[in-house]
Structure 1
């Protein structure tokens, strides 16, 4: 087996867990009404509020999962930790799909649903950091950004898949059948997909970079990260703020807001998400490849927040106009802005930590940013619109998030492969003198 084939299998094995996680996230948002009817059959808005609470609870447990899986991933190996995370994510999602409704088993139904979401959130906390570590450590020199870009591109490919399946089911089934049992079908697909991912991950070999670091493992990786690399953690959180805010604006806030407040047809919202996410995923891969050629900081990490801030108001105005061209253009611009720094962010945060604590460092910074800013974005935006009395609070929030990420990017040192090679040559020269 050639090195190229082995590396592609590493990328596939690493990204499949992230795909399942965002696939379920998309399904939960698309089928919110069906989930509410099945598990929270109460009157009024309380049903949807309880359903969203069941979704949000997983974010609370992500940082805990980051600490636990990061500890074992840095001490004992990436392969074992990632095997557990993909099993937890896929089984929890499958359980949601087969779980009897409240009308059949009573209060046990919503309780089990929340438990499944907790398990999923806990395992997701260790998924991104471990998968990103595997991708970056197994990448050839000069292609780290491109390999890492698959992690973020996978998230948008998962959004495309969940949205596409949701649209197909919605147009091919009566609403009553869809809300009764049809919504469960895509949730069931995650188990066989997870088994394939588990098989691939169990066949992974540890990268040489980690093998060398594992000869002298840290007893407490979290302590090392907090003592020696806390600045890197803060920079990562700052750099991720705008990307995670825009991601959850698109998938968690816009679908309900545009339909209820702006009168945009549901099918048009999904069409915009489908086209925008597909173009965004491709854009992420393109930016990752370019970053390996021209460097990562100013061209992408800095340009990304600037683009997202500049596009915030145009994207909002296009989306709320409600006609097909405007809505799709709005989603296209939103995802193109997102793709600029998402193509390089995985590599950038991975190179912020040494191999001996990389899993923990990535997981901690990423999950804190996503849990605090990403998962809370729909709630924050709803509160801002209500408090300010103007929907323009939505793009203003994105603009503020882009300023935070810009400051984080400006403080990030360029770690491109040419810089590393130059540093290695300088070290060699100094050693010979």
Structure 2
């Protein structure tokens, strides 16, 4: 009888020394993802100045803001297209090729945004070109996160999958940190007039150049052992991987989408939206959360790795209970602190960042949910559909909830976290089945 293909759910759990080649692979993967995520989120930190430069000057502020957030949402809506196409080839021609291509697709439009003429120079063509570049960025990020998760998980030993995913997710968070650090440094160094005059281009030019460097570094990565073994045994999927996912793994798709919804609540609401919401909700100074958010993002990078390591020891579901409950409590604590103890915002935000590290659970759930033949497609379609729906709607929904109740964003995070916890206990995870 033919021996089963070694996979992340069947490989030996016995520990062995961590090889230098494995450390190099994880470092290069995480670095590339950091730079790519920086390229995508840096747009968030400069939406105000971009809105003024790329749209007609005579329109009302609320229309300009809506149009600018529409450009931001376009990146989310384009994710499924990139994810589905790149995942198909990731399951049929190789993980590494798509993993490298995604960096190029991100770096090029980021660089071009930094060189793009404004509305004053080329008129209506300016926002249209910016929209096109944001769509290309969305296509790239749609392939990056699923591809990176599958790539590092299939390279890692069974007893180190959590660590590998935690390090990768920490790298993605580091990309947010770099974007926040760049924005904070520019806002503290230059006046708004200087930023609008051309300094706003610097973060995009820097991100594009570093993205190209990351693509060059990824040349040294090797194809995953799981995919190579499938090639040797001619066991690659002979059907359309996406059709197999929807025919045979619908429940896995649903639970993976719910876990991604939780990720968007933790990252988009707690880490990205809160600094812009709180000054209006609680009467804080506009820059009051700049440093707390920066420190919290740095803490998130480390906490991601810690949560991933914990899942290697205890399993995803056992770690999910305290992690998701702490996400709920720490988010409420952050908003309570803003309302009643603003001098303690840094402390409250650090705890909220530790809670947001539960976002590591999402890629872990997904890589354990699908078999190797269709893993890239399964992870990609689940992640990107969920992000297109929930990532795009979250800013609008949370803003509306905040208008009704100052604690509305915390209520939203709590509801999604509890839903995710329930889903994880309804659906048996692969790592839990292996350990039982």
| TM-score of the aligned structures, taking structure 2 as reference length | 0.89
Matching residue within 87, 105, 113 for 2:130: 113
Equivalent of residue 307 in structure 1, options 314, 326, 350? 326
Give the Cα–Cα distance (whole angstroms) in 2 for the partners of residues 173 and 315 of structure 1.
30
Q: Contact 2:271–2:297 (CA<8 Å) still a contact in 1?
A: no
Distance 2:328 2:380 in 1: 26
Which residue of 2 is the match for residue 156 of structure 1?
173
Residue aligning to 2:26:
11
2:246 aligned with 1:226, yes or no? Answer: yes
1:54 aligned partner: 71
Q: 1:248-279: per-residue Cα shift (whole Å, max 9, x none)?
A: 11344223222233232233212111111111
SS in 2 for 1:266: coil
Which sections of structure 1, spanning at least 5 residues, go unmatched?
Answer: 424-433
Post-superposition shift, 1:25?
4.0
The correspondence of residues 379-394 of structure 1 with structure 2, limited to 5 A, is: 379-386=396-403, 389-394=404-409
CA distance in 2, matches of 1:346, 1:289: 14
Q: Per the alignment, in what secondary structure is the counterpart of residue 45 of structure 1?
A: helix
Residue number in structure 2 paired with 1:207 = 224
1:126 Cα deviation from its structure 2 partner: 1.0
How many Å separate the matches in 2 of 1:411 and 1:201? 38
In 1, the alpha carbon distance for the partners of 2:422 and 2:158 equals 28
Find runs of 4+ consecutive structure 1 residues off by over 6 angstroms.
none
Give the count of matched residue pairs: 415
SS in 1 for 2:146: helix
What is the CA–CA distance in structure 2 between the aligned matches of 1:276 and 1:170, rounded to whole Å? 19
Separation in 2 of the partners of 1:402 and 1:232?
A: 18
Alignment of structure 1 residues 170-189 onto 2, 5 Å: 170-189=187-206
- Stretch of structure 1 that moved more, 371-380 or 22-31: 22-31
Checking the alignment, whether the CA contact within 8 Å between 1:133 and 1:358 is kept in structure 2 is yes
- Matched residue SS, 1:308: helix
Equivalent residue, structure 2, for 1:427: none
Distance of aligned partners of 1:156 and 1:368 in 2 relative to their CA distance in 1, 3 Å threshold: same
Task: Give a deviation string over 1:231-260, Cα, whole Å, max 9, x none.
Answer: 111111112322211211134422322223
Assess if the C-alpha contact under 8 Å between 2:166 and 2:304 holds in 1.
yes
1:431 corresponds to which residue?
none
C-alpha contact (below 8 Å) 1:238/1:407 kept by paired residues: no
Q: Distance in 1 between matches of 2:176 and 2:18?
A: 30
- Secondary structure of the 1:378 match is helix
SS in 1 for 2:254: helix
The Cα shift of 1:3 comes to 7.7
Consecutive unaligned residues of structure 2, counting only runs of 5 or more, are 1-16
1:192 counterpart = 2:212 = no
Q: Say which of 267, 270, 276 aligns to 2:296.
A: 276
Aligned to 1:428: none
Q: Do 1:242 and 1:305's aligned partners in 2 also have CA atoms closer than 8 Å?
A: no
Residues in 1 aligned to 2:427 and 2:167: alpha-carbon distance in whole angstroms: 21
The counterpart of 1:407, out of the listed 422, 426, 431, is: 422
- Give the deviation of 1:288 after TM superposition: 1.4
Match of 1:263 in 2: 283
Query: Counterpart in 2 of 1:333?
Result: 351
- 1:239-258 to structure 2, matched below 5 A, reads 239-258=259-278
Q: Are the counterparts in 2 of residues 81 and 130 from structure 1 also a CA contact under 8 Å?
A: yes
Cα-to-partner distance string for 1:9-38 (whole Å, 9 max, x where unaligned): 322333344323431344222212111121
Residue pair 1:296, 1:415 contacting (<8 A) in 2 also: no
